[in-house]
């Protein structure tokens, strides 16, 4: 007969205890795979690639990298005041937003404005810069003329899909050659939509899908990713999910980072 000590030695070791930190990718024993998006009342909320969210009790029944684990709540810690902002600049303690400068930055769409605010919001308040959404660039010349920029009231504009030969590039070049060109800076990123400026790895995909010209890019993208795409509400939910995966500037493509920083520098430069 085995001794109690020998019996104990033959028992399998208990699974490792793993904290359910946000964005941790977990597999359930029933095959559901998702990232942690929240903890509530002893349960964990997991969201899969298609945006479906399911609630599971914490404890056993989970796999991480193929190994069984016991999922436990994350340890509550008091976060130290950050020394860097989401954009990578040095945080200003006790910040009080400056009175807004007369200069402005315009970006092409609400999603663009939300992403810029999320990553550069601290910097913009330090400098007193207001970002406003454009809704298309077809009448960009008229918008610039109405704003009437001057040496002390500059206008920076961020445009989607600013690539050689595009409609957006022709419009931008015409504005820069126009009567206000010296006090306007039009820059852009090469992406069809600001969504593509988020690194695809943050969504668990290798690359953004190709959508043929003539097909709505956002809905076509969601359809190819297996996500709900029929309504504008589906598009809005998808954007919130995408934006929710952006932690700081490291999760954005360099082509966007450089252009936003250029515009902030342009509209805050001393009038000379």
| Contact criterion met (CB below 8 Å) for 187 and 268 | no
Same domain, 44 and 122: no
Residues 180-232: tens digit of each pLDDT: 989 999 999 999 999 999 999 988 899 999 999 899 999 999 999 999 999 99
Question: Residue 187 is part of a domain; what is its CATH number?
Answer: 3.40.50
**Which letter does DSSP use for residue 75 in this model?**
P
Residue 217 lies in a domain: no
Give the neighbor-by-neighbor strand order of the sheet with 25-28. Answer: 16-19, 67-72, 59-64, 25-28, 33-40, 43-47, 53-57
As for how many domains the chain has, the answer is 2
- Cβ atoms of residues 203 and 47 within 8 Å: no
Domain co-membership, 46 together with 119: no
> Which pLDDT does position 30 carry in this prediction?
81
SS3 call for 25: strand
How far is Cα of residue 155 from the mean position of the Cα atoms in its chain? 24
**Rounded to whole angstroms, how far apart are CA atoms 37 and 30?**
19
Q: What are phi and psi of 208, to 5 degrees?
A: -70, 140
Using the Cα atoms of residue 151, residue 156, residue 157 and residue 162 in order, give the sign of their dihedral: positive
In this structure, the answer to whether residues 20 and 151 fall within a common structural domain is: no
Q: Can you give the pLDDT at residue 31?
A: 82
- Could you tell me the pTM of the whole model? 0.68
pLDDT at 74: 85
Helix 110-127 with 254-268: angle, nearest 10 deg: 50
Q: Quick check: is 110 in a domain?
A: yes
| CB-count burial class (<10 Å; 0-12, 13-18, 19+) for 96 | exposed
In a domain, 157, yes or no: yes
**Residue 26 belongs to domain spanning:** 4-72
Predicted pLDDT at 208: 96
Identify the pLDDT of residue 127: 85
Q: Are residues 153 and 253 in the same domain?
A: yes
Dihedral of alpha carbons 165, 171, 175, 177, sign: positive
């943050």: which residue's tokens? 202
The single-letter DSSP state of residue 129 is -
Percent of the chain with pLDDT over 70: 87
* Domain shared by 258 and 160, yes or no: yes
| Tens digit of each residue's pLDDT (9 = 90 or more) over 7-26 | 544 566 788 898 988 888 88
Give ∠ CA 144-148-150 in degrees, rounded to 5: 115
């Amino acid at each position: 007969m085995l001794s109690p000590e020998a019996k104990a030695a033959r028992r399998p070791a208990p699974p490792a205890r793993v904290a359910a930190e946000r964005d941790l990718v977990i597999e359930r024993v029933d095959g559901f795979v998702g990232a942690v998006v929240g903890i509530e009342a002893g349960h964990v909320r997991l969201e899969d690639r298609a945006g479906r969210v399911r609630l599971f009790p914490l404890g056993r029944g989970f796999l991480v990298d193929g190994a069984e684990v016991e999922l436990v709540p994350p340890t509550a810690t008091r976060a130290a005041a950050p020394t860097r902002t989401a954009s990578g600049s040095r945080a200003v303690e006790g910040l009080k937003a400056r009175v807004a400068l007369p200069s402005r930055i315009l970006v092409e769409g609400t999603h663009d404005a939300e992403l810029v605010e999320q990553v550069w919001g601290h910097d913009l308040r330090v400098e007193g810069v207001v970002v406003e959404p454009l809704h298309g660039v077809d009448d960009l010349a008229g918008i610039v003329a109405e704003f009437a920029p001057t040496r002390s009231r500059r206008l920076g504009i961020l445009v989607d899909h600013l690539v050689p030969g595009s409609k957006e590039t022709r419009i931008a070049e015409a504005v820069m050659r126009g009567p206000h060109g010296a006090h306007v800076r039009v820059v852009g990123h090469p992406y069809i939509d600001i969504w593509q400026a988020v690194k695809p790895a943050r969504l668990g995909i290798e690359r953004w899908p190709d959508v043929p010209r003539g097909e709505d890019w956002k809905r076509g993208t969601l359809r190819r990713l297996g996500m709900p795409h029929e309504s504008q509400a589906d598009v809005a939910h998808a954007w919130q999910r995408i934006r929710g995966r952006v932690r700081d500037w490291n999760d954005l493509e360099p082509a966007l980072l450089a252009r936003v920083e250029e515009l902030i520098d342009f509209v805050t430069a001393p009038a000379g």
